[in-house]
Amino acid sequence: MKKLNRVVVTGTGAITSVGQNSQDFWESCLKGKSGISLIEKNDLQLVGPKYGGQILDFDASQFVKVNDYKKIGRGSNLLIASIYDAIKNANLDSDTYEKADLFVGTTMGEISIETTDYNRYMGISSSENLLDQSFLYTVLANACREFSLQGESMLIANACSAGNYAIIEGYERIRKGEQSICFTAGEDPFSTIAYYGFNRLKAIAASKCKPFDKNRDGMLVAEGAGCLVLEELEHAKARGANILAEVTGYGVSCDAYHITAPHPESAGVIQAMEKAIAKANIELEDIDYISAHGTGTPANDKAESFAVNNLFKKKVPMSSIKSMIGHSMGAASLLEAIVCCNAVNQNIAPPTINFETVDENCEVDCIPNEARQFNIEYAMNNSYAFGGANSSVIFKKFRDN
């Protein structure tokens, strides 16, 4: 039987409302900084909720070098910026990264499709440029053009779990010896469709996202992009890369229960975590920290708390950065993966901010309001999507043995 390769993380990139590079993003998370602000978006009529996680000062001209930033969509610009940040942090040269695979998770792809579909409905002709940006695959095409990528590319439109699924694709490619280096990324621009859709579900908070708090009243729509550079261990060592963490396992499942509501007994969520632990060849008690999905909606937080408490024999520290940046859809679990990598590397976990009142239905250790320093050998990244698409990815502190 062929020996499976070890897969390590050698670079991270992030564009968020609390930091436009991975380092600033991480430091802001540790400080509990909020990136939530009043929503500013052309052609968006606020119907009640007024707050979201927008990147208000993002200047694409400072990041995009090959594409025309004015002609490609905001999602592409965010994605490209996060990949440049990851390349810089991984200290990659073009001869190395041009051979990489690219796996991108997203929910909306580009927001240009919103205007295009409206124009079609109204019988208005759309510009050629707008039509070019009205399909999901354009974010992938623009990123491949920007970096002259020659490897395999794949877009994963698996909603809120998409970032984790992108990591899983890259992990398997390297683990099986089919590739030595991959970019795994997630992106989503602030979406009018998401805003109206979650509002119709009565799932948006009035002003603050308060995961696991008794008085939580919903999520906040956000945007962002994140990227991990995954490498085969020997490939990374050969070029003298700085290794941030190791990916050791994952688990996925589908509830097949309801299009939006979580399974009442969290069966699929528990199954995803169990599969990840088995694949990582560790025990339940080895998990030291969980980056929670933690959307702040009553149903999601209750289901996730139930799953964690029923699976683990101890209260595992867990926190939700959605309390700070909102829910960035396809980028969410990728950004949370960056949190896991830094957590195992630095033995510190960010807080869940806005926490005030304990909920008897969410009796978890959510690291309330202040970051916590403790030994973190293994971190689990949990992410769940509409339709019951559950995913868990496990990151380990890197040890060269």
- Residues carrying an active site annotation: 160, 293, 327
Cα-based torsion angle of the residue sequence 249, 340, 289, 37 in order, rounded to the nearest 10 degrees: -130
Cβ–Cβ under 8 Å, residues 227 and 105: no
Q: Which residue has the tokens 């919903």?
A: 218
| Partners of residue 247 on adjacent β-strands | 7, 395
Exposure b/e, 203-240, CB count within 10 A at least 16 = b:
bbbeebbbbbbeebbbbbbbbbbbbbbbbbbebbeeee
Between helices 267-279 and 298-311, what is the axis angle to 10°? 50
Record the tokens describing residue 395, joined without a space: 């990151």
Dihedral over Cα of 259, 391, 30, 285: its sign: positive
